[in-house]
């Protein structure tokens, strides 16, 4: 009985850590897709795309540094969430600013 309760408690503690890491990865993938969509439709210019992709690399680098010990603390998750919130705001701002690739010019770069 005690063994079952201990295993159940351990599983309940581990689930939020795995779920939050999965959410961070999903959100980073979603943001990368939004950047590429903006590049394809011309709402994000080449220079804006470079800046936004660098921001995504910085988030990934920070996450891998935090995960070196094998888990994320509450403070580290909060830091990553704040970084992703800022990146989402920047993506939205760049897509909706007045800078656009001219429709007759080919898409350059990645």
Report yes or no on 88 lying in a domain. Answer: yes
Per-residue pLDDT of the chain (110 residues; tens, 9 = 90+): 666 666 565 555 554 544 555 688 899 999 999 999 998 888 888 889 999 999 999 999 999 999 999 899 999 999 999 999 999 999 999 888 876 655 555 555 55
Report yes or no on 108 lying in a domain. Answer: no
Structure tokens at 75: 């403070």
According to the model, what pLDDT value does residue 50 have?
Answer: 92
Residue 86 near residue 59, CB atoms below 8 Å: no
The whole domain housing 39 covers 20-96
Instruction: State the total domains in the chain.
Output: 1
Report yes or no on 3 lying in a domain. Answer: no
The C-alpha atoms of residue 109 and residue 91 are separated, in whole angstroms, by 18
According to the model, what pLDDT value does residue 39 have?
Answer: 86
Report yes or no on 86 lying in a domain. Answer: yes
The C-alpha atoms of residue 5 and residue 17 are separated, in whole angstroms, by 19
Structure tokens at 4: 């079952």
Report yes or no on 12 lying in a domain. Answer: no
Structure tokens at 85: 């919130």
Q: 3-class DSSP state for residue 71?
A: coil
According to the model, what pLDDT value does residue 23 have?
Answer: 82
Report yes or no on 104 lying in a domain. Answer: no
Which of 76, 81, 71, 79 minimizes the C-alpha distance to 14? 71
According to the model, what pLDDT value does residue 20 have?
Answer: 56
Q: 3-class DSSP state for residue 1?
A: coil
Report yes or no on 2 lying in a domain. Answer: no
């Amino acid at each position: 009985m005690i063994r079952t309760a201990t295993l159940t408690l351990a599983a309940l503690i581990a689930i939020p850590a795995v779920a939050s890491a999965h959410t961070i990865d999903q959100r980073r993938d979603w943001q990368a897709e939004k950047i590429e969509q903006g590049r394809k439709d011309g709402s994000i210019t080449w220079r804006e795309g470079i800046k936004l992709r660098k921001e995504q690399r910085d988030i990934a680098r920070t996450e891998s540094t935090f995960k070196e010990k094998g888990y994320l603390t509450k403070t580290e998750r909060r830091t990553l969430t704040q970084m992703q919130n800022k990146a989402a705001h920047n993506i939205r701002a760049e897509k909706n600013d007045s800078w656009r690739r001219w429709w007759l010019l080919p898409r350059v770069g990645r």
